[in-house]
Amino acid sequence: MGARGPTAKPAWLNKLEGNPGKRRQKSGPKPPPTRPSCPAWLDENAKAEWARVAPELERLGLLTQLDRAAFACYCQSYADYVSLQKFLAEKGMFYVAPAGKLRARPETGMADLAMRMMLTFAREFGMTPASRARLNLPPQLSDKDDEFDRWLDGR
């Protein structure tokens, strides 16, 4: 089941809009966005995924020291999925059982589980289109933006 109710406004947007109703504002802890070190126990494919994705998540302010374990789980799930898909591409998704019946390989279920786990962790870090839409991050300014362009855009 999905999340209920309207998406909560981020603290930075509430601060910009002010508090005309004088309601108590929620502000959770905000650890500084710093990239944690890559765990040594990750396999090579997981370390490669860490190196590919971590800089971008850090740039967006979505990766902190507290996220190390969850991000490591995402990377390892990704690596498991990739290795299982390579195995299935080589061996095929089915095999002939001793009784002569065609059966699905157990690795197909393992690949499905790894994919589900990978996507669950990816959503936590805003790495799917739908999860990015729910993040409500402040707009990123590009190098070509200037004050006049921001004024025209209403930023």
DSSP reduced 3-state for 34: coil
What residues have CB less than 8 Å from 133, skipping those under 6 apart? none
Q: Which of 4-8, 72-76, 134-138, 151-155 has the highest mean pLDDT?
A: 72-76
Strands 94-96 and 102-104: antiparallel
Pair 53, 127: CB distance under 8 Å? yes
Q: Collect all residues with Cβ–Cβ distance below 8 Å to 97 and sequence separation of at least 6.
A: 103
Residues 43-73 pLDDT 10s: 999 999 999 999 999 888 888 899 999 999 9
> Could you state, in order of their start, the residue ranges of all structural domains in the chain?
40-131
Predicted TM-score (pTM) of the model is 0.72
For residue range 94-147, what is the model confidence (pLDDT) as tens digits?
999 999 999 999 999 999 999 999 999 999 888 888 887 777 665 555 555 566
State how far the Cα of 121 lies from the Cα of 69, in Å rounded to an integer: 11
Label residue 76 exposed, middle or buried (CB < 10 Å: 0-12, 13-18, 19+): buried
Mean pLDDT of 13-35: 71
Half-sphere exposure (Cβ direction) of 63: Cα atoms closer than 13 Å: 24
